[in-house]
Amino acid sequence: MSEEFGKVRMRLNEVMKEKGISKSKLSFKAELQRTQLNHYCDNKIVRVDFDILGRLCTALDCDITDLLEYIPPENK
C-alpha cells in the first residue's frame, strides 16, 4: 500500500487482549485456520476478506471499527 495515502492497520491483537481471548479460541469460534488468523494478527494481509472480518466481529462481539484503524500519511 502506498504511504502517500496513509494505511489501514488491523487492531486484532489489541481487541483479542481486551476481550481475553486466545488465538486458538478465536480461530475455533471464527472458523478460521490458524495461519489465516496469524496473517490478520501480524498485519500481513494485502486484501481484506469481508467474510473474515464479519466472522471476527461476531466471534469477538465487536464492531468493525474496533478492528480497523486508519493511519493518515505523515506528510499531509
Q: What residues make up the domain containing 56?
A: 3-68
| Count of the separate structural domains present in the chain | 1
pLDDT per residue as tens digits for the range 2-61: 678 999 999 999 999 999 999 999 999 999 999 999 999 999 998 989 999 999 999 999
- Return the CATH number at 14: 1.10.260.40
Question: Residue 76: its pLDDT value, please?
Answer: 55
Question: Residue 63: its pLDDT value, please?
Answer: 98
pLDDT of residue 69 exceeding 80: yes
76 lies in some domain: no
Cα distance between residue 21 and residue 6, in whole Å: 30
Task: Give residues with Cβ within 8 angstroms of 12, minimum separation 6.
Answer: 40, 41, 56, 67
pLDDT per residue as tens digits for the range 43-58: 999 898 999 999 999 9
The amino acid present at 75, given as its one-letter code, is N
